[in-house]
Structure 1
Amino acid sequence: MARVPLLWRALLAILALCGVLLALVESRAGILRSGTEVRLRTVPVDPRDLFRGDYVVLGYEISTLDPAKLGGESDFRRGETVHVRLAPGPDGFARAVALSRSRPAGTATEPVITGRVVGINACGANESGAMDCSQERRGLRVAYGLESYFVPQGSGLAIERTERQRIEVVAAVSPSGEAAIKRLLIDGKLVHAEPPY
């Protein structure tokens, strides 16, 4: 390597860095381009501060899970990777139907999304979908990498003033379980769409 001129070493280093950046962009673009689309209903996370800077903080119905109702596995630990099978509910929004440590095979209608346990004693949702912090409603809090959505500078005023129940996210789930937000809708109308690159 010492015999290679400094200019060529610098060019090789630049090309390697560009290759790494291109690989990162392409991995996300691949999810958006070919991932299975799922509709996700959002739930309140912090009703006093929906919009922070230029990104929106989102929570989903599938973010709080009851392991006893989703396959029986238990004793999950914070930081553990979990796999959640999604299926469309009667309203078209994705619902969690199974939870496991090992990755099951997904299908076109029931993709499997990979998440990370961020809390083991979270408030769960009751039958009406409202958060219920009673002891019998405790569950796992799972993050999927869909919890923050960046919006163009200065375009978040409408989102900031919108109740979270009116916000819908269309996400793409890759065959490996990675997910990315494709579109953000309010009352079913497109607000932001993620460009493929």
Structure 2
Amino acid sequence: MLLLSGGLLALVESRASILRSGTEVRLKTVPVDPRDLFRGDYVVLAYPISTVDGGAGVSYRRGDQVYVTLAPDAEGFARATRVDKARPSTGSVMIAGRVLSTGACALNDAGVADCASGSRRLRIAYGLESYFVPQGEGRAIETTPRARIEVVAAISAGGEAAIKRLLIDGKLVYAEPPY
């Protein structure tokens, strides 16, 4: 019993440590779905950093672990500057993810799919794609224009990420407690 309790505590503490001491980054979002019958209301979020250019000469496959280096843009939102199969040794903020597909179309600034880069584009999941909200509030977030929603995520030194806050028009809507 003590071993099971210790295992559960370790899982909770690993997420709490990301939220407490991880590097914060602001992410633009695109809400997708509002609810799930079995899990309650949640919002499925997509991010511009979820579709990145894999670069020339490197082959990626579905399921590959990748590390995406992030840098702030002029507005302070994180943007992907580089993707690597191995963890970079630089002091930059990087987020770990898994390749969902290759040849993905990215969303441009107008929110329209842009497929110009062809097979070099990767669609990546970071574990930040679902956010649970209080019962009955998922639909309100889904109908909010995407330009008004942003996420503040905490990223550990190892690249693990967790949603820390959800903002609409720069105002706090939900904050994730560490425990």
1:114-125 mapped onto 2 (5 Å cutoff):
114-125=96-107
Q: Which residue pairs with 2:127 in the alignment?
A: 145
Give the Å deviation of 1:141: 0.2
1:148-189 Cα deviation digits (max 9, x unpaired): 001122333421321223210000000010000000011111
| Structure 1 counterpart of 2:79, from 69, 89, 95 | 95
CA displacement, residues 2-46 of structure 1 (integer Å, 9 cap, x when unaligned): xxxxxxxxxxxx2111111100000000000000000000136x4
What is the rounded CA distance, in whole Å, between the counterparts of 1:167 and 1:181 in structure 2? Answer: 13
Structure 1 portions without partners, runs of 5+: 1-13
Which structure 2 residues correspond to residues 1-197 of structure 1 after superposition, within 5 A?
14-43=1-30, 46=32, 50-53=33-36, 54-68=41-55, 72=56, 74-107=58-91, 110-126=92-108, 130-134=112-116, 136=118, 139-197=121-179
Kept after mapping to 2: 8 A contact 1:85/1:97: yes
Q: TM-score, normalised by structure 2?
A: 0.89
Q: 1:132, CA displacement in angstroms?
A: 1.2
Residue 178 and residue 106 in structure 1: after superposition, are their counterparts in 2 closer, same or farther (change >3 A)? farther
- The residue type equivalent to 1:16 in the other structure is L
Secondary structure, counterpart of 2:29 in structure 1: strand
Q: Which residue of 2 aligns with 1:5?
A: none
Unaligned regions of 5+ residues in structure 2, if any? none
Identify the range of structure 1 (153-162 vs 117-126) with the bigger mean alpha-carbon deviation.
Answer: 153-162
**Larger-Rg structure:** 1
Which digits, 9 at most, give the CA deviation of each residue in 1:74-110, with x for residues without a partner?
Answer: 2100000000110011110001111111101353xx3
In the aligned structure 2, how far is the partner of 1:160 from the partner of 1:116?
A: 25
Number of residue-to-residue matches in the alignment: 175
Q: Is the 8 A contact 1:73 1:100 kept in 2?
A: no
CA contact (8 A) 1:123 1:137 kept: no
Alpha-carbon distance between aligned partners in 1 of 2:109 and 2:169, rounded to the nearest angstrom:
22
The worse-fitting range, judged by mean Cα deviation, of 117-126 and 81-90 is: 117-126
Instruction: Return the letter of the residue paired with 1:63.
Output: S
RMSD: 1.9
Q: Which has the larger displacement, 98-107 or 119-128?
A: 119-128
The amino acid across from 1:164 in the alignment is: R
Asked whether the 8 Å contact 1:73–1:99 carries over to 2, the reply is no
CA deviations on 1:44-76 (whole Å, 9 max, x unpaired) are: 6x4xxx3123110000000001122xxx45210
Q: State the Cα distance separating 1:121 from its structure 2 match.
A: 1.6
Change (3 A) 1:127 1:137: farther
- Asked if the contact 1:172/1:180 (under 8 Å) is kept, the reply is yes
